[in-house]
């Protein structure tokens, strides 16, 4: 029923106009909307609502702030293909402020931000990329004469929703590791309230896109977990959907980079892969639209747990790194049993004549002992029957089991 409704939209003018705006054939545009709805875990029929929202609703205004980061999150967004970046920012959302992508500079940029905030008060999305320094009043990061703390609080005051993109904005990430001289913190800590977090170093751009499309369709962010992460993207362990999982279950592990197991695609658990304790959809969504295997584990490197606070970057208290890359992960669902065979089992040299003779003798003795046990069990049964007959005083002649032995 849902597919029928979606196909009916193909002939509507709004869908035709929207597909032209995003540079997709109409059927491909509808397929994109259906994929987004499925990725969000929406119920049947929601794909049509997504298509209609993208086609007809006003594009949400987005204010995108940059602080302590490497711009990797934006770089990841630049590589999105469905739709491409220019289609995304011009036809799906209205990116009204973004320091990296702006052609203008200085006062013009700051004026554009303030105008967008005024015209879309209570309806715009605030996206923060990078950690926020809090030590010494936040003087270690200023934009347009304002500290990162001041700018974040000003923009968040009238935002419909706040999204922290990347691990740095989510909880401090790399900048917050020891000794953390600038007091780098996540957005939620600075604002003193929960925000939607899309962690990763960098995060997958489609997790951000799907979150925005959900907001555009339903006027609210998708369901979040206790860390503020969208459940559609961060509810399953990487380990559950990893293409190397079968090797894990069979006890086949790469022991060193470049060894035979590594070249054959064996599980990277023994090399410190954090997939068994990291929640993300990396193995199913992949990166860069370059085909199968385009994610760290698929390319032969262990997952470092960048979407988990205290695993990839920074402990919960912001002191030091989480776990070194070589440290084994804490498997949250199932660990390989100790009885799994090694990748290469030692082979025997075969039985010698002497050992074969000894084995035959042992087997013969065991067979003889078994026969004696069976015979004795039978005699015991006969003796028990004779005893019962005598006790009953019966006249029936009962052979004494021991007389004939």
pLDDT per residue over 57-98, tens digit each? 677 888 999 999 999 999 888 877 766 666 666 567 788 888
Question: Whole-number mean pLDDT of the chain?
Answer: 78
What pLDDT is stored for residue 401 in this prediction? Answer: 39
Q: What is the pLDDT of residue 349?
A: 54
Pick 326 or 97 by higher pLDDT. 97
**192-234, pLDDT tens digit by residue?**
998 999 999 999 888 988 888 888 888 888 999 999 999 999 9
pLDDT band at 150 (very low <50, low <70, confident <90, very high): very high
Distance CA 233, CA 224 (A): 10
Query: So what's the pLDDT on residue 120?
Result: 92
pLDDT bracket for residue 144 (50, 70, 90): confident
Q: What pLDDT does residue 270 have?
A: 93
Instruction: Catalogue all structural domains in the chain, each as residue range(s) with its CATH number.
Output: 58-233 (3.40.50.700), 236-345 (4.10.480.10)
| pTM: predicted TM-score of the whole model, two decimal places | 0.70
């Amino acid at each position: 029923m849902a597919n029928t409704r979606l196909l009916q939209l193909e002939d509507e003018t709004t869908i035709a106009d929207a597909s032209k705006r995003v540079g997709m054939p109409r059927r491909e545009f509808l397929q994109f909307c259906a994929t987004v709805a499925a990725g969000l875990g929406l119920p049947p029929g929601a794909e049509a609502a997504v298509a209609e929202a993208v086609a007809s609703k006003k594009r949400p205004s987005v204010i995108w702030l940059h602080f302590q980061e490497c711009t990797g999150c934006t770089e990841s967004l630049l590589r999105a293909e469905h739709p491409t970046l220019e289609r995304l920012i011009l036809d799906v959302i209205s990116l009204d402020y973004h320091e990296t992508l702006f052609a203008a500079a200085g006062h013009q940029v700051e004026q554009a931000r303030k105008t967008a905030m005024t015209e879309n008060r209570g309806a715009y999305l605030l996206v923060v990329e990078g950690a926020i320094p809090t030590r010494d009043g936040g003087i270690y990061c200023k934009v347009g004469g304002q500290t990162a703390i001041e700018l974040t609080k000003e923009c968040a005051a009238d935002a419909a929703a706040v999204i922290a993109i990347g691990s740095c904005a989510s909880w401090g990430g790399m900048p917050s590791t020891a000794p953390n001289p600038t007091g780098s913190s996540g957005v939620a800590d600075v604002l003193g309230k929960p925000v939607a977090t899309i962690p990763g170093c960098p995060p997958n751009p489609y997790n951000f896109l799907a979150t925005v499309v959900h907001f555009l369709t339903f006027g609210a962010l998708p369901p979040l977990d206790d860390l503020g992460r969208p459940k559609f993207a961060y509810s399953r362990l990487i380990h559950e959907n990893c293409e190397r999982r079968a090797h894990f279950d069979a006890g086949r592990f790469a022991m060193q980079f470049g060894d035979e197991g590594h070249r054959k695609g064996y599980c990277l658990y023994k090399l410190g892969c954090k997939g068994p304790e990291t929640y993300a959809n990396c193995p199913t969504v992949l990166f860069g639209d370059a085909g199968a295997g385009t994610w760290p584990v698929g390319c032969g490197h262990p997952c470092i747990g960048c979407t988990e606070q205290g695993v990839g970057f920074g402990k919960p208290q912001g002191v030091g790194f989480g776990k070194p890359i070589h440290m084994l992960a804490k498997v949250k669902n199932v660990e390989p049993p100790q009885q799994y065979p090694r990748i290469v089992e030692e082979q025997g040299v075969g039985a010698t004549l002497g050992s074969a003779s000894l084995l035959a003798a042992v087997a013969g003795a065991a067979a003889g002992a078994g026969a004696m046990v069976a015979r004795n069990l039978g005699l015991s049964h006969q003796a028990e029957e004779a005893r019962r007959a005598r006790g009953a005083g019966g006249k029936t002649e009962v052979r004494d089991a021991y007389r004939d032995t």
